[in-house]
């Protein structure tokens, strides 16, 4: 339920969150080595750090659940249920929350399948396997359609994000080769 475009987080900070004064980007005087938005009026240092996207690979027999996006970016493309992790939740609980919100699925959370770094946009994506308990879905307003696909049926050219593509490839490869409990760590550079 949070805008998944990246730009809103990555526009430069103009004003201090504490006092409203104009900030300047410079290396702070505290031993830091990176430029931060520093407030010349009240000395507040504004740190900007990567965001976590958490989601699931919901599976039903030999099929996985994909959601057709009703929001930008990548409107109309297919994705796994996922979204930005919030404060006051674990990564796993965030993944479950997004699966509920975007697909309205009934499921049981299983184990972590992939941790993917995407430094270009300052994100880390984490996906858990989730066992579907029903093949009926009730997608939220961010989803045009939620549908089950076998590996062969997946619209590989219409997948919204590289992280989703890679996670799906890992899921089906593990399944084919009878591997369980593997966590894939992937850097998308």
Positions touching a copy of itself (CB under 8 A) are 1-3, 8-9, 11, 13-22, 30-34, 45-52, 84-93, 111-112, 115, 117, 119, 122, 124, 126, 141, 181-183, 185, 187, 189
**54 and 88 Cβ atoms separated by less than 8 Å:** no
Of residues 131 and 141, the one with the C-beta less far from a copy of itself = 141
Of residues 154 and 166, the one with the C-beta less far from a copy of itself = 166
| The residue to which tokens 């297919």 are assigned | 78
Q: Supply 99's token pair.
A: 């699966």
Q: Which residues contact 133 (CB under 8 A, 6 or more apart)?
A: 106, 107, 108
Shortest separation between residue 127's beta carbon and a copy of itself, angstroms: 12
Calpha distance 90→171 (Å, rounded): 22
Shortest separation between residue 150's beta carbon and a copy of itself, angstroms: 28
Shortest separation between residue 182's beta carbon and a copy of itself, angstroms: 8
Of residues 15 and 131, the one with the C-beta less far from a copy of itself = 15
**83 and 5 Cβ atoms separated by less than 8 Å:** no
Calpha distance 46→39 (Å, rounded): 8
Shortest separation between residue 20's beta carbon and a copy of itself, angstroms: 4
**189 and 119 Cβ atoms separated by less than 8 Å:** yes
Shortest separation between residue 18's beta carbon and a copy of itself, angstroms: 6
Of residues 130 and 154, the one with the C-beta less far from a copy of itself = 130
Calpha distance 57→128 (Å, rounded): 6
Of residues 145 and 179, the one with the C-beta less far from a copy of itself = 179
């Amino acid at each position: 339920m949070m805008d998944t475009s990246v730009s809103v987080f990555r526009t430069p900070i103009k004003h201090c969150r504490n006092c409203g004064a104009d900030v300047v980007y410079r290396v702070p005087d505290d031993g830091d080595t990176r430029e931060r938005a520093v407030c010349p009026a009240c000395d507040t240092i504004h740190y900007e750090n990567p965001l976590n996207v958490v989601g699931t690979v919901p599976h039903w027999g030999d099929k996985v659940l994909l959601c057709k996006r009703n929001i930008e970016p990548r409107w109309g493309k297919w994705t796994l249920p996922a979204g930005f992790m919030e404060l006051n939740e674990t990564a796993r609980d965030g993944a479950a929350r997004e699966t509920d919100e975007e697909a309205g699925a009934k499921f049981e959370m299983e184990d972590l399948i992939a941790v993917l770094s995407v430094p270009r946009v300052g994100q880390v994506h984490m996906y858990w396997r989730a066992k579907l308990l029903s093949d009926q879905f009730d997608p939220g307003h961010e989803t045009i359609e939620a549908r089950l696909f076998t590996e062969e049926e997946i619209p590989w050219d219409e997948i919204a994000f590289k992280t989703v593509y890679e996670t799906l490839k890992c899921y089906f490869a593990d399944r084919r080769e009878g591997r369980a409990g593997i966590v894939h760590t992937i850097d998308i550079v």
